[in-house]
Amino acid sequence: MRGCFQRWRSLDVLDEKDGDAMGKMLMQDTSGLFNVKGRSEKSRREKFEWFFSDFPSMKALKDECLWFEPLMEVIIVDSKETREKSSDNSNHMSNHGAFDKLSLLTASDGYSLGSR
């Protein structure tokens, strides 16, 4: 029921309670995600892709904040591929100096933040 409700909420109306609910949905049924190496990575990737394809608000967020999807990918999927992307981009954040606006963050920054 909660998932159905969240699918219809747009990004501009989401609040902290929505974030909490969506985080719980994302982490729900995770027992099979960490068992067997090949299967767990595939399961985590599927869960990650479901989250960004099933919720219009997350589709909008990944278009608006280019760093958010890579950040979540590193945290959720945690594959060899995402670790390599994050290490390849680890120096990218230091080029910005002090961040005062989220709009300055890029996909590379998302990988770097997620890996820290």
Residues 37, 24, 58, 96, CA torsion sign: negative
Lookup result for tokens 């027992």: 31
Chain centre to alpha carbon of residue 93: 18
The model carries a pTM of 0.65
Host domain of residue 42:
2-28+37-115
Lookup result for tokens 């068992």: 35
CA distance 3 to 58: 13
Q: Is 68 helix (H, G, I), strand (E, B) or coil?
A: helix
Tally of domains within the chain: 1
On the 0-12 / 13-18 / 19+ scale of CB atoms within 10 A, 85 is: buried
Write out pLDDT tens, residues 6-26.
777 888 889 889 888 888 887
Write out pLDDT tens, residues 23-73.
888 777 655 555 555 568 788 888 889 889 988 999 999 998 888 998 888
